[in-house]
Structure 1
Amino acid sequence: MSSFTFVHAADLHLDSPLLGLAGKSSDYAARVEAASREAFDNLIKLAIDGQCRFMLLAGDIFDGDLRNFQTGLYFIEGMRRLGAAGINVYMVLGNHDSENRFAEKLSLTDNVHVFPKAKPATHLIEDLGVAIHGQSFPRPDVSEDLARGYPPALSGAFNIGVLHTACAGSEGHHARYAPCTPEQLANHGYDYWALGHVHAHAILSEYPHIVYPGNLQGRHPRETGPKGAVLVTVDEGRLAGLEHRALDVVRWATLRVDASGVEEERDLLDLIRTELAACLVDAGGRPVALRLSIVGTSPLHARMILGRSRFRDDIETLLATLSHDIWLEKLKLETQPPAATEAIDPTVAGRLDRELVRLSKDKALDAVLESRLVEIRAKLPAGAHADAFIEQMRAEMPERAATLARSLVSEADHAPD
């Protein structure tokens, strides 16, 4: 056996639509959507510059509803560039690829090997002594354990399994497709499991290595932190190095700032500026989509709640003074008023605020909300994006209703006589 390097990536979701983002900022939505292609270009460059012998793609290259055939052509062009550099690609189709109406119609270049849907298959790279095993999803909703049908390890070879799966303990919010367990995979006899489906980078086991590279580009606020692929080095039949390389173009970040004890808004803005510094360093110069939460028990609570729009404008102004490209995706005010203040606040605004909090938690409101959501859902097309939209509305509507009521009272309070 010789020494060689390969790259393992998954969940490219090229040109994936971004739920709700266009309604908040069409400019940023366009930038993030374009970022999936730029991250893909970074992946191709990594493989070529790193002189990789091959690339593994563990599913969900495309999104479930590929809206533009040009997306497929863009992928083919990337594969052609790899072929020109002598790099073969071994890929499985994931749940999104299997429901995609264009994926199977693409004429891929000769260096791309797609594993079949009917049963697992093996590709042998003889000069490297590598055996790569895999199976594509035969349909979007695979509930059976595909890994159990993978062939035994080939003796004397470095064995790799390429699998799109929700491995037990790592599923998170992802659907439990092709379920398996880390123990099961570790006992299968392979040297490396190249997994896909879960969008967070994770190493579930070492020797044998069971690895999720995560997706290439974060698409929404749950997908924070560096996103990219894994560069793997093998020396004389043993894994000698594994490095996660950040390839994302836009970075999503969540920041929680504790406003406890802060009495002046200018001091709170200074605190936000200070705590944002670490996020900006981590982003490495990339544009940042920021979800900011203000928490803690603060004397500023009522002022921020009643003047939410003005406070957001102040934060936007703060971000504009920084040298980094930052977009405030969402501001969440999760503070609490000091107990003493709440007890002695006899004003109309104080009593109203407490009543709004009580109503937002009322079970009767939940029933009304659910009935309205059922009506809305019946008018939407079937699909995961519609389900996600309903979940987002379910989570945000009580807070939005309370915020609207507060803002109306605030406007009435400041209206001229």
Structure 2
Amino acid sequence: MACMDEFRFLHAADLHLDSPLLGLTEKSGDYARLVADASRRAFSDMVSLAVESGCRFVVLAGDVFDGDLRDTQCGLFFINGMARLQAAGIRVFMILGNHDAENRFAKHLRVTDNVHLFATSGAETCVMEDLGVAVHGHSFARRDVRDNIARQYPPPVPGLFNIGILHTACQGREGHESYAPCTVEQLVNHGYQYWALGHVHTREILHENPYVVYAGNLQGRHAREAGPKGASLVTVRGGEVLTVEHRVLDAVRWACEAVDLNAATTYAEMGSRIRAASLDLVARAQGRPVALRLELVGATPLHASLIRDAHELQLEVEAILASVSDHIWLERLRVHTTAPARPEVLDPSTGGRIAADIRSAATPEALQAELDTILTTILDRMPAHTRTEEMRAAILHDVPARARDLALSLVENPEAGDNAHQ
């Protein structure tokens, strides 16, 4: 038995079907309906891609569902997708990831005959004799898998193309729980030709020959998952990987964009820069709706009015985006501009003395102790997974500076906002 001369398969992971797109829940009803089924549309396009590309099989590397199943229709939707693949003669090999493991439905999924769900009791092997391919997998039995389960995977089947499907935080990944930890070296030395990894939502090829690949997720779920999302289309020839192509499948595109307002003196100039950046984002999204997290940066005379007139700024930016496209929405606006540097000049006026007092008082040392006490009280009431030292440090750094800038804007140049709009 030998590997077929040439074939294709699709590697996908972290479908998170019916996962809400976080940060968009308060948008308009039309927009809410547009994004509500983004994960389903991405999944449907994945099935279409497998059929149209002539794939012989599909591997799903965990987290098909998003935690506990809220709606059994989601399970039926997935089964219908598997039936479409079966009708095209495409087999499916899937494992349960950490989210699937807490899903009461996933373990008892009665899917079509073309689907093999790997066991939770240990690693096992499926051989496709017609292709000369051996697929190895191990499902999560529980959410919190901290063991190096890759060590349990069987040795490669001699003379076949061996694929390992593994849900793992390989060598640790920032922002992801350290589930099923392992190393790239361990996987490379195991003897398989391709490792199809899941759990990390960013596409990454960790190693070539043999290939160790994170396909990333099909659909970004929040602004930290920005950019194109999709699956990996793999072509095998003569028992070796010929190509690993990233195919974009996301239905809604998340984007994080920093617009530099350095030296901008009017809102019209600011609008021109935001519009140019937005037009570029819309073009790159290729017709997909865009959820934009916008950050304004740079040293600008507008700084005081931007932080003082937050509501007006929000409306201004939303109007600019509406002029660019009906399908770009502002998920969040952050103002991280600064005032232009200027020489220190002694100002004997009342306003000048107040400004000097603000500068001397609004130092991290003066406010940090009180702010730290307030933060401790707030963070203690938040869910454990949201309490991070990074969050605390960012607040302790930003709040004193923003309070100082706002106070100075009111004292030093109360009419700056009116002039900037001209």
Q: Normalized against structure 1, the TM-score is what?
A: 0.88
Give the residue type in structure 2 aligned to 1:365: L
| Aligned with 1:387 (options 381, 385, 388) | 385
Contact 1:18 1:29 in 2 (8 A): no
Change (3 A) 1:276 1:18: closer
Q: CA deviation at 1:315?
A: 1.1
| Alignment partner, residue 363 of structure 1 | 369
Could you tell me how far apart the structure 1 residues matched to 2:366 and 2:118 are?
51
In the alignment, what sits opposite 2:212? Answer: 210
Pairwise CA distance, 1:107: 1.3
Q: CA RMSD in A?
A: 2.9
1:271 maps to which residue?
Answer: 273
Note if contact 2:23-2:331 (Cα within 8 Å) is conserved in structure 1. Answer: no
Match status 1:257 vs 2:259:
yes
Tell me how far 1:42 sits from its aligned partner.
0.4
Q: 1:40 and 2:66 equivalent?
A: no
- Classify 1:241/1:349 alpha carbon distance in 2 versus 1 (closer, same or farther; 3 Å): farther
Structure 1 360/135 Cα, relative in aligned 2: closer, same or farther at 3 Å? farther
Q: Shift in Å at residue 272 of structure 1?
A: 1.5
Map 1:329-340 onto structure 2 (within 5 A): 329-340=331-342
Matched with 1:312 is 314
Match 1:52 to one of 51, 55, 73: 55
Report what 1:283 is aligned to: 285
Secondary structure (helix, strand or coil) at the match of 1:109 reads coil
2: CA distance, partners of 1:353 / 1:251: 42
Please identify the structure whose Cα radius of gyration is greater: 2
SS of the aligned residue for 1:57 comes to: strand
Residue matched to 2:67:
64
The equivalences for 1:288-307 within 5 A come to: 288-307=290-309
Residue 114 of structure 1 pairs with residue 117 of structure 2:
yes
Q: 2:150 aligns with which of 135, 147, 151?
A: 147
The 3 A distance-change label for structure 1 pair 348 and 310 is: farther
TM-aligned CA deviation for residue 29 of structure 1: 4.4
Letter in structure 1 aligned against 2:116: H
Deviations 1:148-206 (A, max 9, x none): 1111111000000000000116x121111001111111111000000000000011111
For residues 349-383 of structure 1, the C-alpha deviation after alignment (integer angstroms, 9 at most, x for no partner) is 96798566859962321221221332x33xx7xxx
Aligned counterparts, 1:375-414, within 5 A: 376-377=381-382, 387-388=385-386
| SS of the residue 2:144 aligns to | coil
Unaligned runs of 5+ in 1: 381-385
CA separation of 1:353/1:302 partners in 2, compared to 1, >3 Å: closer, same or farther? farther
Unaligned runs of 5+ in 2: 416-422
Contact persistence 1:232–1:239 (CA under 8 A): yes
2: CA distance between counterparts of 1:194 and 1:285? 30
Contact (CA 8 Å) 2:58, 2:93: kept in 1 or not?
yes
Q: How far did 1:256 drift?
A: 0.7
2:10 aligns with 7
Q: Give the distance between the partners of 1:357 and 1:200, measured in 2 at CA.
A: 39
Q: CA deviation at 1:226?
A: 0.4
CA distance in 1, matches of 2:363, 2:253: 33
Could you tell me how far 1:16 is from its partner in structure 2? 1.1
* 1:45–1:149 distance in 2 versus 1, CA, 3 Å: same
Matched position secondary structure for 1:222? helix
Does structure 1 conserve the Cα–Cα contact (< 8 Å) formed by 2:205 and 2:214?
Answer: yes
Paired letter, 1:362: Q
Q: Give the Cα separation in 2 of the matches to 1:24 and 1:265.
A: 25
Matched length: 402
8 Å CA contact retained: 1:12, 1:216: yes
Moved more, 330-339 or 360-369: 360-369
Which residue is 2:420 aligned to?
A: none
- Taking the aligned partners of 2:36 and 2:389, their CA distance within structure 1 comes to 22
Q: Which residue of 2 aligns with 1:245?
A: 247
Aligned with 2:342: secondary structure? helix
Q: Secondary structure at the match of 1:339?
A: coil
Q: Deviation of residue 96 (structure 1)?
A: 0.3
Q: 1:21 to 1:117 in 2, by over 3 A?
A: same
Name the residue aligned to 2:160.
Answer: 157
Once the 2 structures are TM-superposed, how far is the Cα of residue 340 of structure 1 from its aligned partner?
1.2
The answer to whether structure 1 residue 373 and structure 2 residue 379 are counterparts is: yes
